[in-house]
Structure 1
Amino acid sequence: MEMVKKLKLDNGVDRLSSLPDPIRAHILSFLPTKDAVRTGILSNTWRALWTQLPILDFRWLMLPRSLAVNKYFGRRDNDDVLTIRELFYNFLDRAFVSILMLEKLKLYVPGFVPQLKSRVDNWVDCAFGYRLQEFELQLGFDSYEEIRYSLPKTVLSSNLITKLTLINCEVNESSLIDISLPSLCYLSLTYVFITDEAMANLLANCRNLEDFNCDTCYDLHQLEISGLTKLKKAKIKYRYAKRLGIEIEAPSLIELTYECEDLCDNEGYCDFELIDCTNLKKFKAVGAALDDMDLHFLLGDLPALEELHLYYCDCLRFIDISSPRLVHLELIRCEWILKATINAPNLKYFYFEDDKPIELPLRGLTPRLKEASIWLELEDKTDKWYARLVKFFAKFRHCERLVICVGFVKDLIVPQSVRMKTRPPLSGVKHLTVEIRASFKKRTPVSFIEGLLWLAPCLETITIYNSHDQIWKSLELIYEMPLKGQKRCGCWNPLPIHCWRHSINRVSIENKKKEDDDTELANFFRNARIDGKIVEFSSKNSLSEPQKNSSC
């Protein structure tokens, strides 16, 4: 505060206002546009300074909330709202004739009506007259308004524009007159009215496009992407559609996301074809109507694939994933998958979320995963179900770090009747994180810890997280080094392990978010060794705020 006073006042002189305009404009560039404009009330020397800023953000987030009032949310535009909007439009009228330079612009026009078209056209034309390089335009509040504002041709005939984002507007033949976008690298269309022919014409004139986003474009029934030799990233998302055809030919494409939502009560479907996308490394499908054969042929055409994300793909049943370079695999809420055969020797990261475990046969070399995350919603917990769960867990026995998310503590306590017929499935896991979604007692149950150590008898660290009760507990288990020539304990023959009950030496517990009484755990560990040796035990409450693991 003292430094600010010294900067502003020196014998009554405002030193900040006496700085040269380029320096003060540079200072303003670090402020949000809303605050930069407000500095105009300080004095005459500040009044028009913000017009020298090369980056302006006039989106609705910087405006009074009443500007975004929408009848679809139960409120109608009243006189006060209309007055505020008109004041904002008048401000834009003055602003675009006063701006001295402009490189990047984000413009939101609330409450758009056809009568505003000429004014919006004028604002857009003025902006592009300043050699604009990046432009984002949004009209209206959301997708429900279905605004048909036709872009002026200046937008799509700019040789300088490199990044273009359009939300709630229309691209028609008049918008495409004299189209020329040789510098465009990024294009995003969201809730845009555009026909198949207009889209084809638009993309044909974006030869240097590297990143393309198409989100629910109305009137579009067939999307064909070809001739874009520099395209590296694409995201295609659709809602409320019945029939969609998508064909992509992009030899340089590296990352592709394909999402479908609300396909008219499952009546709609998507024809999806990739042609010559041999360099694709990451593919994400959300809600896609891909069946087992579709996925099989798709993966066969993607020899460079390293990441595969399948979310809510309910047409999959018995999938076969064979990919020699695959490193990262996610199967999230594909609820009808019963079996996933995986042949991926380089797989390092696996994430699974569903109501039940599935059959997971592994062909070829068994991958040694660095991390796996399993999210389960358990219901019918019979012996047969637990036997299936143990078999599923066994596929992750070579995982370095395993994250398991379940509803209740008892979900991971395998009954003795099942333990007698099988062996611990996670014998090679050293680091285990468990998230419990439901509330449980303040004291962490001893039976729960014992159950985890049966599942993984060689654990070095255990982390237990429960957001409901603000519990975050970390256990570190230190073992004795086996003597040279000493045989394995033999508890789980033929597993080549030395289990914790024969070698545990010290246990340290840290409660990081909430105090916990660890007396019962202390008694359990101190007397846990089979040979009767006392185990050292320590516990502390640090009450720090650890960063929650994002895997679950």
Structure 2
Amino acid sequence: MVRPKKLKSEAKPEENTIKEDLISNLPDPVLCHILSFLPTRSAVATGILSRRWRHVWKDLQVLDIYGRPFMAPAQEAKFIASVDAIFAQRNPLPIKSFRLCCGLTDDESLDMWVQACVGPHLRTLYLDVTLSCLELFLPRDVFTCKSLVSLVLKCEFILDNLPYKVCLPSLKNMELDLTDVDCDNLLSGCPVLRTLNVRLTEPFQNKWVELHRIRMPRTLRRLIFQESRPSHNDIGHLEINTPYLEYLHLKIQSPCLRFVVGKFPKIMEAHLDIFQCVELEHDVDWVAKLLKALCKTKFLALKYCTTQCLFQAAALELPKFHSLLHLELDFLSFNFNFVMNMLHNCHMLQVFALHNRKRYYSHPLEYAGPEPPTGVPNCVTSHLKTFKFRGYEDTTDEHELTAYLLERGLVLETATIHPTSDFELLTKYYILKGLSALPRGSNICQIKFDTLD
């Protein structure tokens, strides 16, 4: 007689007990390592499993504490009490990593927790805190912690109480959301920094802030610098001389009075979103110099403010992009000559994306650069596989460029057109019907239409 198979739910209790015992019999350091991957509250909750687990979490050297971004007073008091209890009950072992995400009105508690973590073994400090107070100062010991490898402050701290000399000799990653900081003092104390992500926000109470000097460490591989201050505040001196840089994202809205840039022989990807006063020529010329320094990048995205600067730069000479594979251009007003000049200088381009934002703005600028060469760009006939156009309005220049790329793009695979949402459905239909009838130089080229913009 064939015996029926045993269902999984019918497993003997002894089997589960054996599995639990195997985990419980592991040494404390191994159990702590396992618990370090859990949120600290979950790790603490394992203390109710059995007598064996009651005190294991107290040896944790990695604390990951999460609370709600906005809490009622009673909830906040309960949260603070629970975190205080964790610090009070844990064994006096050095903390290697501290991560805190919450909302607070009590800045004294935050200062106490951070102070308890700072020590010769702290490697990671991550604070994502929503603050109700206007100013909060971190302990100075944070900026002289020699073991710190990663520092992330996702909250609007005011770092004007930095020590006389910042000393972070092991720091490789730093992400900051700031309203005020002595950048030169802070960055000069990070001799091996590789990743820097800085977001400078608008000062509290319209406080005047002038950044006299921002000099990026030469060791950087990845730089994200986003500045969104009022236009009357100035960046006195911005220096990006980082020969090992691989990724760059710049967003600058305040006038940059002096700009110094080195060469980027290892650059792979660059995003430029730079707004400068186009009424003064010297305020925009440095944008063209920066573009020239990025000539070896493989990915380049220029936002509409940046193209406006390039339109007005005196004697603009576009660099040769011998390695560029992906190019994205935003415009306030599409210009055929500028686009063709870019294509002639991008010899290996495979993906080309345009976005016309004209309908959102009232006073676009005209391109003052030279006429493009008469020949067909090498990338169009040999490399360009993908073409995208968002905000297509079917103007003479836009239609001419689209027809040009479809006819001369010998290896083009897809051309995706997003008509502007201002047009009625019937108007879009006739536009797309006309584009579909254009001759194509590639037998495999497909035209795709998306009416949602």
Q: TM-score range by the shorter chain?
A: 0.7 to 0.9
Shift of 1:280: 5.6
Q: Distance in 2 between matches of 1:121 and 1:52?
A: 22
* Contact 1:312–1:332 (Cα < 8 Å) also in 2: yes
Shift of 1:189: 1.1
Match of 2:422 in 1: none
Q: Distance in 2 between matches of 1:227 and 1:240?
A: 19
**TM-superposition CA deviations, 1:248-284 (whole Å, max 9, x none):** 2223333211114xx5xxxx54447242234362321
Match of 1:413 among 424, 433, 437: 433
Shift of 1:93: 1.7
Q: Could you say which structure has the higher helix fraction?
A: 2
Shift of 1:413: 1.4
Change (3 A) 1:223 1:284: farther
Please tell me the root mean square deviation across aligned C-alpha atoms, in Å. 3.6
Change (3 A) 1:5 1:19: farther
Change (3 A) 1:29 1:337: same
Q: Distance in 1 between matches of 2:150 and 2:75?
A: 30
Match of 1:467 in 2: none
Q: What SS does structure 2 have at the residue aligned with 1:93?
A: helix
**TM-superposition CA deviations, 1:507-527 (whole Å, max 9, x none):** xxxxxxxxxxxxxxxxxxxxx
Quick check: 407-416 or 234-243, which moved more?
407-416
Count matched residues: 397
Q: Is 1:185 paired with 2:176?
A: no
**TM-superposition CA deviations, 1:197-237 (whole Å, max 9, x none):** x2211111111111111102546532644472312221111
* Contact 1:180–1:205 (Cα < 8 Å) also in 2: yes
**TM-superposition CA deviations, 1:65-91 (whole Å, max 9, x none):** xx423xxxxxxx6xxx21221121122
* Contact 2:353–2:388 (Cα < 8 Å) also in 1: yes
Q: Distance in 2 between matches of 1:160 and 1:386?
A: 56
Match of 2:389 among 375, 378, 381: 375
Shift of 1:337: 4.2
Shift of 1:404: 0.2
Describe how 1:361-372 pairs up with structure 2 within 5 A: 361=372, 365-367=377-379, 368-372=382-386
* Contact 1:375–1:404 (Cα < 8 Å) also in 2: yes
Percent of pairs with identical residues:
20
Match of 1:432 in 2: 446
Describe how 1:19-168 pairs up with structure 2 within 5 A: 19-59=26-66, 63=67, 67-69=68-70, 81-97=72-88, 98=90, 100-113=93-106, 116-117=107-108, 119-129=109-119, 131-140=121-130, 147-166=134-153, 167-168=155-156
Quick check: 333-342 or 131-140, which moved more?
333-342
Match of 2:250 in 1: 258
Q: Distance in 1 between matches of 2:14 and 2:445?
A: 55
Shift of 1:385: 7.4
* Contact 2:126–2:152 (Cα < 8 Å) also in 1: yes
Q: Distance in 1 between matches of 2:432 and 2:26?
A: 67
Shift of 1:365: 5.0
Q: Which has the larger radius of gyration?
A: 1
Match of 1:334 in 2: 331
**TM-superposition CA deviations, 1:263-320 (whole Å, max 9, x none):** 5xxxx54447242234362321125338674443333334433332112326247476
Structure 1: which 4+ aligned runs deviate by more than 6 Å? none
Change (3 A) 1:178 1:42: farther
Q: Is 1:273 paired with 2:259?
A: yes
Change (3 A) 1:227 1:215: closer
Change (3 A) 1:151 1:32: closer
* Contact 1:96–1:127 (Cα < 8 Å) also in 2: no
Match of 1:171 among 149, 159, 178: 159
Q: Distance in 1 between matches of 2:324 and 2:228?
A: 30
Q: Is 1:210 paired with 2:194?
A: yes
TM-score, structure 2 as length reference: 0.75
Q: Which one scores higher on RCO, CA 8 angstroms, separation ≥ 6?
A: 2
Match of 2:361 in 1: none
Q: Distance in 2 between matches of 1:429 and 1:361?
A: 28
Q: What SS does structure 1 have at the residue aligned with 2:217?
A: coil
Change (3 A) 1:431 1:120: same
Q: Distance in 1 between matches of 2:408 and 2:400?
A: 14
Q: Gapped runs of 5+ residues in structure 1?
A: 70-76, 439-551
Quick check: 388-397 or 249-258, which moved more?
388-397
Q: Is 1:234 paired with 2:236?
A: no
Q: Distance in 2 between matches of 1:158 and 1:128?
A: 7
